[in-house]
Amino acid sequence: MRETLVLGGVVQPVGQLVLVGGALVAGASVPVLVVAWALPAVPVLVLAGVRVSRDSFGLVGWGEFWRYIGPRSVASGVQAVFQRLDIVVVALLAGPAEAAMYTAATRFKVVGQLVSQGLAQAVQPRLIRAIADGDSDRAKALYRQATRTLMAITWPVWIGYAALAPWILGLFGPSYPQAVDIALVLSATMMIATACGMVDVVLIASGRTTASLINVISAVAVTIAIDLALVPSLGALGAALGWSAGVLVKNILPLVQLYGFRPRIAT
């Protein structure tokens, strides 16, 4: 946990801030800015690889390691690309005005994602230990406790966002309150997703990273299909509905998969 925090939470973002900030001050071009943003990942990758190799490969082989981590790496890449692609899709299908409203109304979801990521970092090591030890009661307790904590922290935020959406979006300009329906879809979706708990984390902790990858790809496919069908006619709202459907797929599929898993966690 300490190395994860230092490398991923301090070294890489601070390095990005320093390099990108310096490049901006120097008036660098866009390709240079991209390189400056990506460059800090290289030493982080090397240091993390050294630590993992030193501590883990005496217990598991390279083949076993990559069978577990490979699908998860691909899934993370797919998610990272699509999180930045949806705005482009809206701009291409509905125009820049709709893309701007969609961006303003949906960026608030980062708040809930940060809370979920923080809890996942804290819970996942203990969850893996409980599953490895065959302690299903402990695994269930961790899952339920994390779900309750996540709901207690984020539900007031989503309810508040839904209630205050006209005022919050109005801060961006006089036309942005039209995106209130997007904010309502976002809030309702995130509350349902939160109530499902960290199902993807449980799936990964149980070693089923390939299933997690399939779920992510399925969610992206559903989102793209609904975007193509609804964005031309509904604009940003159609994109919000597509995103909502993808999030629900990404959370409901793991629930179904974990229902019959031994030890049974999601019951």
Using one digit for the tens of pLDDT, what is the confidence trace for 29-53?
A: 888 999 999 999 999 989 888 887 7
Q: Angle at the Cα of 195 (from 190 to 198), degrees rounded to 5?
A: 90
Distance CA 54, CA 194 (A): 36
Do 87 and 212 share a domain, yes or no?
Answer: yes
Do 4 and 100 share a domain, yes or no?
Answer: no
Greatest Cα pair distance in the chain: 61
Tokens 């990964």 found at? 204
pTM over 0.75: yes
Do 173 and 121 share a domain, yes or no?
Answer: yes
Do 122 and 200 share a domain, yes or no?
Answer: yes
pLDDT value of residue 200: 87
Instruction: Answer whether residue 156 is part of any domain.
Output: yes
Do 24 and 153 share a domain, yes or no?
Answer: no
- Which residue range is the domain that position 121 belongs to? 61-259
pLDDT value of residue 60: 67
Instruction: Answer whether residue 266 is part of any domain.
Output: no
Is the distance from CB of 104 to CB of 113 less than 8 angstroms? no
pLDDT value of residue 56: 61
Closest CA to 154 of 120, 190, 185: 190
Do 191 and 208 share a domain, yes or no?
Answer: yes
Q: How many domains does the chain have?
A: 2
Do 141 and 17 share a domain, yes or no?
Answer: no
pLDDT value of residue 59: 64
Tokens 């998860």 found at? 72
Q: Would you say the C-alpha torsion 168, 170, 175, 177 has a positive or negative sign?
A: positive
Do 161 and 192 share a domain, yes or no?
Answer: yes
Sites in the chain below the pLDDT cut of 50 = 264-267
